[in-house]
Amino acid sequence: MSLRNQTVTTAEGAMTRPAVAAQPYPWPYDGRIPLARTALLVVAAQDEVAAFCPGSAEVLGLLESVGQELAAMGAAIVTTRHLAPPALARPVGLPSAGSAAPSVFRAAVDLSVDAYGFDGFAGNALEQWLVGHRIDHLILGGLWLEGPVHSTMRSANDRGVECLLLRDAVASRVPEITGPSFSMIHMSGGIFGATAAVAELRKSMLGSATGRSEK
């Protein structure tokens, strides 16, 4: 939480970094990455989900490194743990609230929330926390691309949050449709936001720290 105290500043006073070479547009839309208004959102870092998503361990390791780098620059780190929707009688591949294992994300975080469903915003204070901390840019990665990652990105986007998905920091349950899972995000000029490789984000983070976010 001390991280938050350092980084809650006005947008005008915040440090920014150059836009990321993302698809289908340089991210973010407002010109530069406003670090104090940005969070890394790590989705479903859970053993129950990792069990059926090949490559989960590598993805989480990469996100732990990226998280530490972003935190050092003033961005927030948030994790969502996904539980089966209580209102749904069918099993959906998510653990129930009583039996879920703790998050396996090992880097320091500013907020961990439990989501009651695939949507990371379901049944918790994530939206209020982001609004309260003036965070309106999300960099997303995590497990089960077609499940909780997609639902959470769609929900964030409908809320006006500017989203970037890290293509090589997500693990798929259905690797055969990973291409379309990214393509869906790119439709109509970025209908849910943009996607980029971690290397492209890192290039931006090494870029000039001057300048302001431009609308």
Partner 1 sequence: MFGTVKSAPYPWPFDAQFAPAGTALMLIDWQVDFCGMGGYVDAMGYDLSLTRAGLEPTAAVLAAARRAGLHVIHTREGHHPDLWDCPPNKLWRSKRIGAGIGDAGPAGRILVRGEPGWQIVQEVAPMDGELIVDKPGKGAFYATGLDLALRTRGITHLIITGITTDVCVHTTMREANDRGYECLLLEDCTGATAYENYLAALEMVKMQGGVFGAVAPSSALLEVLNG
Binding site for partner 1 (CB under 8 A): 25, 28-30, 52, 85-93, 116-119, 122, 146-147, 150-151, 154-155, 157-160, 162, 173-174, 176-177, 179-181, 183-184, 187-193, 215
Taking a C-beta distance cutoff of 8 angstroms, is the pair 77, 107 a contact? yes
Smallest separation, CB 65 to partner 1 (Å): 28
DSSP labels, 132-143: HTT--EEEEEEE
Using the Cα atoms of residue 64, residue 212, residue 156 and residue 196 in order, give the sign of their dihedral. negative
Is the CB of residue 186 less than 8 Å from the CB of residue 24? yes
50: Cβ–Cβ under 8 A, 6 or more apart, which residues? Answer: 56, 57, 60, 104, 143, 171
DSSP 60: H
Question: Residue 55, Cβ neighbours under 10 Å: how many?
Answer: 15
The distance of closest approach from Cβ of residue 180 to partner 1 in the complex, given in angstroms and rounded to an integer, is 3
Q: How far is the CB of 167 from partner 1 (least distance, A)?
A: 16
Closest distance between partner 1 and the C-beta of residue 91, in Å?
7
